[in-house]
Amino acid sequence: MKLLGIDDAGRGPVLGPMILAGVLIKPKEEKIIQSWGAKDSKLLTPKIRREIKEKIKQQFKYHIEITQPKEIDESSNLNYLEAIKTAKIINELTKNLNEKVKVIVDCPSVNIQAWSDDVQQLIKKPEIVQLSCEHKADFNHPVVSAASIIAKEKREDEIYKLKLQLKKNFGSGYPADPKTKEFIAKNFNNKKYKHIIRFSWKTVKKLIKAKNQEKLF
């Protein structure tokens, strides 16, 4: 029997990618993860999070799925897109396994059953997978906390790289961030930056509409 924890990072921002990560362990190894102080990545300082990330990567098998803004914009349903990415992680980390795997996912949807059904239909080896989708799984299960940390750190790395490449400090990428709002309002028409903006987000649509109205008057 193995345990596989899955969680996302960067689902809510208007800039940059969404990240999903999965970490595969033996059930008894959850105690090791707990001993490192792993918990929901939002509850950890960046320094502690980075330290735990390195320990996880050294000791356990993991897989990361990166979803760029363009793919998010082209998807008609973010929950289903996340179900596809979740199944990809499950399929990647179970492809060489014959033993049972309990998969615990921090569910992004309010409708746990419907979302679980979507994931279940995309699993390539359903005979070995026991799927459990829950709210607050990153808080309640150390293996999902580990996945949360890997996902959050990957998102941070991607944002850092984008800022370096573009030579722009666009803030955190979250809708409420004033730097992020200012960046979108000034640059939504600039081809150089289009690949990092989620144009399907209401926040972005409102900023573009307001900017266009300014030009009219």
User: Tens of pLDDT along 167-188?
Assistant: 999 999 999 999 999 999 899 8
Mind listing the pLDDT tens digit for each residue in 32-71?
999 999 987 888 899 999 999 999 999 999 999 999 999 9
Q: Residue 212: is its pLDDT beyond 80?
A: no
Residues 142-155 as b or e (16 or more Cβ within 10 Å = b): bbbbbbbbbbbbbb
- Decide if 7 contacts 21 (C-beta within 8 A): yes
Question: What domains appear along the chain, each with residue ranges and CATH number?
Answer: 2-163 (3.30.420.10), 168-216 (1.10.10)
How far apart CA 47 and CA 18 sit, in angstroms, is 22
Helix (H, G, I), strand (E, B) or coil at 24: strand
Task: Tell me the percentage of the chain whose pLDDT exceeds 70.
Answer: 98
How far apart CA 27 and CA 50 sit, in angstroms, is 23
How far apart CA 145 and CA 122 sit, in angstroms, is 24
Question: What pLDDT, on the 0 to 100 scale, is given for residue 207?
Answer: 80
